[in-house]
Amino acid sequence: MGGYLPAGLLPVSTGYLMDAVGLPTGATLFGAALAGLAVTGGLVVLIRPTAQRAQDFRIP
């Protein structure tokens, strides 16, 4: 449930935003929000401690 709520809210809120400001601006802001989330996710993965990353791939 945790990932479905934000995944649903982003496009719905973008639709309302596009109604308010227009399609080109709304689509640009939607793309910028997705790019920002992607960069944030990439930084979270890169900043994690090396020991923790190595532990993720260890076979039990």
- pLDDT tens, residue by residue, 29-53: 989 989 998 999 888 888 877 766 6
Q: pLDDT digits over 4-22, tens only?
A: 888 888 889 989 999 999 9
Q: Which amino acid is at 22?
A: G
* Residue 25 in tokens: 């601006």
Tally of structural domains, the chain: 1
C-alpha atoms less than 13 angstroms from C-alpha of 7 in its C-beta half-sphere: 4
Contact 29, 17 (CB under 8 A): yes
Q: Compute the average pLDDT of residues 20-26.
A: 93
What residue has token string 């993965």? 45
Three-state DSSP class for residue 58: coil
Range of the domain at 24: 4-56
Spatial CB neighbours of 37, under 8 Å, sequence gap ≥ 6:
none
Question: Which pLDDT does position 38 carry in this prediction?
Answer: 93
